[in-house]
A and B are shown apart, each in its own frame.
Chain A
Amino acid sequence: MEIVIASTIVPFVEGGGTFIVDWLEQALQQRGHSVFVWKIPFHSDYREIVDQMLGLRLLDIRDYGERLITIRPPSHLLRHPNKVLWFIHHHRTAYDLWNSPYREFPDNKEGHAYRDLLFSADMLAFREACRIFTNSKVVARRLMHYNSIAGEVLYPPLMEPGRYKCRSYGDTVLYISRVVHHKRLHLAVESMRYTRTPVKLIVAGKSELDTYRQGLLELIEQYHLHEKVSYNDGWISEDRKQELLADCLACMYAPVDEDSYGYPTLEAFHSLKPVITTNDAGGPLEIVEDAVNGFVTAPSPQAIAKAMDTLYNERERAREMGIAGRRRIDELGITWDHVVEQLLR
């Protein structure tokens, strides 16, 4: 089948939102489909989004492909007779982050007008879709809450889960993520002030804003955490990541009300490592169960430090939790076979 995958991107920013596109392309090609991937640069400034939505609406791709799969909005505005949405998040600053410091729209008539327009455009796109999948229950809930639209949850797998391995349960907790504020790597760093065991923390990932990166370094400096925390600046290679995962004690992933469970969680479980997250992390709570395959703590450094210490002191328990995490992936049926079957149904 000829399939078009369309998604918006922020050029040169890679993460969950781009991997899902690249990996879906590979998964479809491996199953004999012909794929055209269309990554559309998107400027998220509220004053720019209306023009761009109009542009997507006007670009006529109706003749191309027997199916259009759209991933990151507003690619869902593209017209196509056989449009399937794998909806990974709303334009969040206009939706669930409206009443938060992350809101980018001004709270005045102008801002509200832009927001209303975005809402109507989204509704149009949802109504046109043949089928709507979401990457998590969190996003499905938001879709119901804000748009009264029912979405089916379709969890995104890793591309090559077989590459992850487990060698040992060392003394390091690993936090691999894009280094941006809402991923809350600072919470992991601050936790290290309160640990009582010799547990260590490795933070690794590419930073987008230098101020946040700098803030992390200052935290380490301020609390003299050099011996306990190491910060791997920059994008980490797959090989290096798998090596770190193979020998770490556990992983941490505690973003602010994230849309999906996050690939770091899957990577941890495929490496048979438990995951520490927080009760306000959103998506990760769909897969991480407290005291079963990791710890779900309050979003406080003290609580996280306690979880780290527990895992450090009880390696056997850490191992059992990691194995339970791997089982959880199977229970939820997170495989490309399932994803492709659903998207092409």
Chain B
Amino acid sequence: MKVAVVNSCIPFVAGESENLAEALRQQLNEYGHPAIIVSIPSRWHRPSAIVENILACRCLRLPQIDLMIGLNIPACYLPHPNKVLWLVDLRHIQDLPATEEAAKVRETVIAADNRYLREARKIYAISETVSRRVRSFNAIASEVLYPPLLPNRLHWDHVIRKLIL
């Protein structure tokens, strides 16, 4: 199965999701699934940029890909008929500034979450905290799937089986 690990990032700034994306890509390869990382540069520093950014994600495509694994927002918004999420971080709503403009955008973001995250056939979260956030902001249920800290074979067996299934 050909897999795209889709990850939002800030160019020239290393984030925690990059490490997970790379580890996941390597593990998928080891399990016989060719995988690439698709980076989506995005920084929601201006509320006005957020809506554009959401729309941009919806306009991108993932040809030749059998399975998309989304790690964070807005990467998880990309359309794909076979989408699984493994949410690493979900601070995008609580991180919005407390301004009037941001309040309007907030509704758009929650609507985008509700619509595009629900496209996934399964949603995992890397921790209880992340799982709680997606439940409280979006009333979306997710299953906790801890990322292996070390290249632990048994643990990765479990993770890959869950994500690929």
- A residues whose Cβ falls under 8 Å from a Cβ of B: 2, 4, 10-13, 34, 36, 38-44, 48, 51-52, 54-61, 63-65
Instruction: Contact check, B61 vs A11: say whether CB atoms are below 8 A apart.
Output: no
Q: Which of B43, B52, B53, B64 contacts A11 (CB 8 A)?
A: B64
Top 9 nearest A-B pairs (CB, nearest first) are: A55-B59, A58-B56, A36-B11, A43-B63, A43-B61, A64-B11, A59-B56, A51-B59, A11-B64
Instruction: Contact check, A55 vs B36: say whether CB atoms are below 8 A apart.
Output: no
Instruction: Contact check, A65 vs B11: say whether CB atoms are below 8 A apart.
Output: yes
Instruction: Contact check, B11 vs A61: say whether CB atoms are below 8 A apart.
Output: yes
Write the B23-52 contact mask toward A (1 if CB under 8 angstroms, else 0).
000000000001010111111000001001
Residues of A within 8 Å of B4, CB to CB, are 11, 41
B108 to chain A, nearest CB (A): 14
Instruction: Contact check, A34 vs B12: say whether CB atoms are below 8 A apart.
Output: yes
Residues of B within 8 Å of A2, CB to CB, are 12
Residues of A within 8 Å of B42, CB to CB, are 59
Specify the main secondary structure of chain B where it touches its partner. mixed
Q: Which of B36, B43, B52 contacts A58 (CB 8 A)?
A: B52
B28 to chain A, nearest CB (A): 13
Specify the main secondary structure of chain A where it touches its partner. mixed
Query: In which size bucket is the chain B interface?
Result: 20 to 34
Residues of B within 8 Å of A36, CB to CB, are 11-12, 41
Does B111 belong to the interface (CB within 8 Å)?
no
Does B2 belong to the interface (CB within 8 Å)?
yes
Instruction: Contact check, B59 vs A54: say whether CB atoms are below 8 A apart.
Output: yes
Give Cα distance in the complex from A72 to B62, angstroms: 16
Does B145 belong to the interface (CB within 8 Å)?
no
Given the known interface contacts A58-B53, A59-B56, A60-B49, the answer about A42 and B41 at a Cβ–Cβ threshold of 8 Å is no
Instruction: Contact check, B12 vs A52: say whether CB atoms are below 8 A apart.
Output: no
B29 to chain A, nearest CB (A): 12
Does B164 belong to the interface (CB within 8 Å)?
no
